[in-house]
């Protein structure tokens, strides 16, 4: 392939990946703001509110996964309409139908998820938490629950804007929601401007209101876009059952994949938690760093996924393979830059979490320094496996990606993490080494499957003539 082709693909991916990655980072800032505000109330409030956020975010993440394939379907439909002008009107109708079905699916998932979020407050007492934490978590969960519905509406419209390669408004809206969330948190916690003083519950209510703001703001922004406005049909009761079934079939494995990954990392944290407070603190700090950098991979993954859907719909499988290589190369460059910082300035990086002048932090800081060295290598595989999931999603192969992650996370990564942690004398370094191997295996299997599917050795994953 010519270098010019790779340069063109890099620019195309960057145009979509950069705003998406920045949006992801802004969303991390949103949850970080909630956590910081909780810590300002009290340690008990942080424990209770943090537990509520974990439960809410688990269901929110799975709901987002359920809608993620919408962007790929929109990208393919838009590409077909571009190359066959006489089908442009039909293509616009298909895009409108995809949004209607996505909003209908989001409504169903949002209502069911909100009920589960609220009811989970009655079940967390079975998890061995203190009664005070349980009692303070329940009202926060009920305050967070209504926010799941507008959150998923936002995601449905977001997938259409991304599929149409017009994500520019996402970053502005997310940044505005971060600022608004911080301000509203303060107002509702302390009861300023004559409002009632809600304390911890105010944080949950502020988050729900910001999700509503984001959803409305994205809709209004799309209404002003000449390419998006004709697609914005809110008549979800007109959604066709066949489209709903297709989106559900594609979305359920993605939701399961997201839930599986989240659960996998939660179990890793529980294992390290048995090694002592210093080990858990070190893991939490380095894991947060990995999570922040992971958002770059998420942006690349979505951009590559949407681009592959377009090229396959246009009947250009070789271009899809080239896009995959370009995305992996871009990911490798980004992870290399991060790894250099980890390796050259580990103490500077960890100073965000540990005070070098506080002796009580010494043990955790020492463990974290070692974990950071593993993280420098681990992030390459974490990025690659996330891009691999996106590439398979671009081929509509969401079920295959889910099965591979089950093997990589639970059958390889988790047993190795447990065994290596125990065999090294309850050392978190052993756990992270097992985690690294699990992610490496997952990335290898995902990319191998993409190479085989894109080459057609297992039969067509999608129709290259245009039909889905």
For 318, counting Cβ atoms within 10 Å of its Cβ (0-12 exposed, 13-18 middle, 19+ buried), the class is exposed
CB atoms within 10 A of CB 298: 20
* CB of 372 closer than 8 Å to CB of 350: yes
Phi, psi of 170 (to 5 degrees): -60, -45
Cα–Cα–Cα angle for 47, 297, 4, rounded to 5 degrees: 165
DSSP 8-state code for residue 65: H
* CB of 421 closer than 8 Å to CB of 272: yes
* CB of 169 closer than 8 Å to CB of 221: yes
Instruction: Give pLDDT, residue 458.
Output: 41
Query: Residue-wise pLDDT tens for the chain (468 aa)?
Result: 566 666 777 888 888 888 888 888 877 777 777 877 876 777 577 767 877 887 888 899 899 999 999 999 999 888 887 766 555 455 578 889 999 999 999 999 999 999 999 888 777 767 666 677 778 888 999 999 999 999 999 999 999 999 998 887 888 898 898 889 889 989 998 888 777 888 889 999 999 999 999 999 999 999 999 889 888 888 898 899 999 999 999 999 999 998 888 888 888 887 887 888 788 788 888 888 888 899 999 999 999 999 999 898 888 888 889 899 999 999 999 999 999 999 999 988 888 777 777 776 788 889 989 999 999 999 999 999 999 999 999 999 999 999 999 999 999 999 999 999 988 877 899 999 999 999 999 999 999 999 998 876 343 343 323 333
> How many angstroms separate the CA atoms of 417 and 423, rounded?
10
CA distances from 456 to 113, 393, 399 (A): 38, 15, 17
Tokens for 5? Answer: 């082709």
> How many angstroms separate the CA atoms of 153 and 65, rounded?
13
> How many angstroms separate the CA atoms of 415 and 419, rounded?
6
Cβ burial 259-283 (10 Å sphere, 16+ → b, else e): bbbeebbeebeebbeebeebbbbbb
> How many angstroms separate the CA atoms of 312 and 302, rounded?
15
For 337, counting Cβ atoms within 10 Å of its Cβ (0-12 exposed, 13-18 middle, 19+ buried), the class is exposed
Grouping H, G, I as helix, E, B as strand and the rest as coil, residue 192 is coil
Cβ burial 107-135 (10 Å sphere, 16+ → b, else e): bbbbeebbebbbebbeebeeeeeeeebbe
In the numeric block, the tokens 């080990």 are attached to 279
* CB of 261 closer than 8 Å to CB of 389: no
Grouping H, G, I as helix, E, B as strand and the rest as coil, residue 165 is coil
> How many angstroms separate the CA atoms of 398 and 290, rounded?
25
What pTM was computed for the model? 0.82
Q: Radius of gyration (Cα) for the chain, nearest Å?
A: 22
């Amino acid at each position: 392939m010519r270098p010019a082709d790779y340069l063109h693909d890099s620019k195309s991916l960057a145009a979509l990946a950069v705003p998406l990655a920045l949006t992801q980072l802004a969303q991390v800032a949103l949850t970080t703001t909630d956590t910081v505000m909780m810590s300002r109330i009290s340690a008990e409030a942080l424990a209770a509110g943090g537990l509520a956020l974990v439960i809410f975010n688990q269901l929110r993440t799975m709901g987002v996964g359920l809608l993620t394939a919408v962007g790929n379907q929109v990208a393919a439909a838009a590409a077909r309409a571009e190359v066959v002008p006489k089908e442009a009107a039909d293509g616009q109708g298909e895009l409108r139908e995809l949004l209607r079905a996505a909003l209908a699916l989001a409504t169903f998932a949002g209502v069911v998820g909100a009920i589960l979020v609220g009811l989970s407050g009655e079940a967390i007492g079975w998890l061995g938490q203190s009664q005070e934490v349980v009692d303070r978590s329940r009202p926060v969960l009920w305050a967070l629950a209504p926010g799941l519905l507008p959150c998923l509406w936002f995601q449905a419209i977001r997938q259409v804007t991304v599929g149409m390669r017009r994500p520019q408004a996402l970053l502005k809206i997310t940044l505005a929601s971060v600022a608004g969330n911080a301000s509203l948190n303060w107002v509702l916690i302390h009861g300023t401007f004559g409002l009632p003083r809600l304390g911890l519950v105010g944080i949950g209510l502020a988050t729900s209101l910001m999700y509503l703001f984001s959803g409305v703001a994205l809709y209004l922004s799309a209404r002003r876009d000449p390419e998006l406005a004709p697609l914005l049909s809110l008549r979800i009761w007109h959604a066709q059952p066949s489209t709903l079934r297709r989106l559900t079939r594609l979305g359920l494995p993605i939701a399961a994949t997201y839930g599986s990954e989240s659960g996998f990392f939660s179990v890793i944290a529980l294992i390290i938690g048995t090694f002592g407070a210093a080990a858990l603190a070190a893991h939490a700090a380095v894991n947060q760093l990995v999570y922040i950098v992971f958002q770059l991979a998420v942006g690349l993954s979505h951009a590559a996924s949407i681009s592959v859907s377009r090229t396959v719909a246009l009947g250009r499988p070789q271009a899809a393979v080239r896009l995959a290589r370009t995305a992996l190369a871009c990911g490798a460059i980004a992870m290399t830059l991060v790894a250099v910082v980890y390796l050259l300035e580990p103490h500077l990086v960890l100073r965000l979490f540990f005070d070098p002048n506080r002796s009580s932090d010494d043990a955790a800081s020492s463990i974290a320094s070692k974990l950071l060295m593993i993280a420098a290598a681990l992030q390459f595989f974490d990025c690659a496996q996330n891009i691999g999931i996106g590439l398979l999603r671009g081929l509509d192969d969401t079920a295959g990606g889910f099965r591979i992650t089950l093997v990589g996370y639970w059958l390889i990564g988790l047993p190795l993490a447990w065994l290596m942690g125990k065999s090294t004398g309850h050392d978190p370094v052993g756990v992270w080494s097992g985690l690294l191997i699990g992610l490496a295996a997952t990335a290898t299997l995902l990319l191998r499957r993409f190479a085989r599917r894109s080459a057609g050795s297992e039969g067509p994953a999608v129709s290259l003539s245009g039909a889905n």
